[in-house]
Amino acid sequence: MTLEYSVKLPPLENGDRLTRDEFERRYAALPHLKKAELIEGIVYVASPVRVSHSQPHAEIMAWLGFYKAVTPGVLVYDNPTVRLDGDNEPQPDAVLRLERGGNSRISEDGYIEGAPELVVEIAASSAAYDLHDKLKVYRRNGVQEYLVWCTYDRQIYWFSLEAGEYQPLTADAEGMIRSRQFPGLWLAPEALLAHDLGRVLQGLQQGIATPEHQAFVQILIET
């Protein structure tokens, strides 16, 4: 008589310390699980999504999607898994990256590898790991811009990587924060905090009407 044994993988649990390969094996074995991340070798499993997260998430995707629609050569992603290094595999809320000539690529098995140009996270407050451990990981791996929307604090933090350190991007006299990596990607933070998507997109339209955006598009077309 032959006895057959099946090896069942342990589930992903908050606080597990895993290699990236083991993290991916366990994550793939849990098709019902929608979001888990590996940050500095530690597993973080997301809680069920409340509307306080899903509404801001949808508004960010609309803003980035509008920019992508008029900027050939850039790609936008919703909740992609990003392989940054051996200890870090985050799943940011949104990513904007260059299709060609950037610091990231798409692997043969369909994951982003390397540092996208812009990462966006939706967090509850400034106490969240998005503004601590994750920020350090994104900075160390060369993510050029990092935007965090803290919904309960009603704050938007947008950082630009300058000489290896994140420096805050702040609103100008017109109330706009302007991306340095993506010309024309303008954000009206007060409108976004008020969930006034119409005014957010109006501000973005002003950005994409500038000569800087037009020149950027031309560069992307010729790349």
Full set of structural domains in the chain with CATH: 10-48 (no CATH), 50-222 (3.90.1570.10)
Torsion of CA 118, 120, 126, 131, to 10 degrees: -40
Q: Per residue in 128-182, pLDDT tens? A: 788 999 999 999 999 999 999 999 999 999 999 999 999 999 999 999 999 999 9
Flag residues of the chain having pLDDT under 70.
1-7
Q: Give residue 48's pLDDT.
A: 77
Q: Are 88 and 39 in contact (CB under 8 A)?
A: yes
pTM for this model (two decimals): 0.91
Task: Return the pLDDT at 7.
Answer: 55
Give, in order, the Cα–Cα distances in Å from 28 to each of 11, 13, 25, 85, 135.
Answer: 10, 14, 5, 19, 26
Per-residue model confidence (pLDDT) at position 4: 44
